[in-house]
Structure 1
Amino acid sequence: MSEPEPDPGQRYEPPPGVGKLLAWILLFVVAAVAVVLGGVYFT
């Protein structure tokens, strides 16, 4: 009826490098938002 999953644990587990990259992207996004909001607030 339904095929068995190849490896259930592998779908939600990204490789270690991806999490670090995502953290850096998130950090840059937060920093950019802070700069924009700061610029708007202080002008």
Structure 2
Amino acid sequence: MSEQDTPPGETRYEPPPSVGKLLAWVLVFVVAALAVVLGGVCFT
């Protein structure tokens, strides 16, 4: 379904693609940093 298919009264909770991509990259880096930190703690 594209945005044209949704009725005008119905709002879709969807961030713009650029915000979604930025959020995804931030999450990737946070998870990677946590993995490094936890891995360093476990192996010491």
Same fold, TM-score > 0.5, yes or no: yes
Q: Which runs of 5+ in 1 are unaligned?
A: 1-6
Measure, in 1, the Cα distance between the counterparts of 2:21 and 2:35.
Answer: 21
> In structure 2, what residue type is equivalent to 1:21?
L
User: Are residue 15 (structure 1) and residue 16 (structure 2) matched?
Assistant: yes
- TM normalised by structure 1 equals 0.71
Q: Which runs of 5+ in 2 are unaligned?
A: 1-8
Q: Going by fraction, where is helix more abundant, 1 or 2? A: 1
Structure with the greater alpha carbon radius of gyration: 1
- TM normalised by structure 2 equals 0.70
Percent identity of paired positions between Structure 1 and Structure 2: 75
Measure, in 2, the Cα distance between the counterparts of 1:25 and 1:31.
Answer: 10
> In structure 2, what residue type is equivalent to 1:27?
V
Would you identify which runs of 4 or more consecutive aligned residues in structure 1 move more than 6 Å? none
Aligned residues: 37
CA RMSD of aligned residues (A): 1.6
